[in-house]
A = this chain, B = another copy of it.
Amino acid sequence: MSFDRLIEKIVKTQNPTVVGLDPKLDYVPEFIKEKKFEKYGKTLEGAAKAILTFNKKIIDEIYDIVPAIKPQAAYYEMYGWQGVKTLYKTIEYAQSKGMYVITDGKRNDIGATMEAYATAHLGVTDVDGEMISAFGADALTVNGYLGTDGISPLLEQCRNNDKGIFVLVKTSNKSSGELQDKYIGIKTVYNVMGDMCESWGAEAMGKYGYSSVGAVVGATYPEQLAEMRKALPHTFFLVPGYGAQGGGAEGVAKGFDANGLGAIVNSSRAVMCAYKKEGCDEQDFAKAARREVIRMKEDIISYLPKIALE
């Protein structure tokens, strides 16, 4: 139920991080692209196949030390339905290796349509009696601007299919405050959204004190992260913005509880492009990703208490 499976994987790996797979074609080493372009041409299919190979090789190198991946839907949609097929195959592959998959889609809509998104990404689709998983992630990021109607259909999937959602609360970008920091009475918009997460989650609690309804709170705003950790005791955090966007390990540590749990920190580009930063042979890209994953984990856990189920 809820994020229990994710929490158990975090404890097992002693690693509260998730690798974001946001694969621009630029990130993919030449030797992979050349091979795929030769076979499929410089087409969306060629690009999508190159990205799938890139993803799989990274997963092969990290699945034993990282609990989860977070593919970002936008980078797959950019390569058309062929790219979206690669998203599907990436999710399937990561799960076959035992990883937890958070699809970062920030989906949102009103009731009936949100039900379709919930089915697409977390549920099973009814094709005239045949129940088929369309994308089958373990969790999905969503945007709560539309209120409860837009969240309820997801809660059903969370309860019935042991899934989770992360609602955008305080995002990591510079202009996030234009709306999110505005005051509604004595609370900010992100406070109000955070409170809604706690109340949506109340009916889908897990055994480790966290519900199925998590929140996205950016690493770039450590003060708000600390404030939110205190205000939202049952809400698990997905923390983007570490590394490339400027969030440091000391800051992200504020999103964790006394057991070193309660949050998972994302890194995308720094892992995918570790081989570029290292300047190593591009053939070695997946091993460079592994090295960056280990560096990031060590960096973050150095600021945390021992991660334990307590």
Contacts and interface: CB of A to CB of B under 8 A. Distances in A.
A295 interface: no
Interface in A44-97: 44, 46-47, 72, 74-75, 77-85, 87-88
B128 A78 contact: no
- By size class, the interface of chain A is 35 or more
Contacts of A75: 113, 116
A175 B192 contact: no
A116 B78 CA distance: 6
A125 B75 CA distance: 10
Interface in A129-175: 129-130, 132, 134-135, 143-150, 168, 171-175
A77 B117 contact: yes
A180 interface: yes
Contacts of A127: 25, 42-44, 46-47, 79
A177 interface: yes
Nearest to A182: B184
Interface in A188-206: 189, 192-193, 196
Interface string A245-271: 000000000000000000000000000
Given A85-B81, A143-B145, A44 B134 contact: yes
Contacts of A116: 22, 24, 72, 74-75, 77-78
B173 A184 contact: no
Given A143-B106, A175-B146, A134 B83 contact: yes
Contacts of A117: 74, 77-78
A28 B176 CA distance: 42
A33 interface: yes
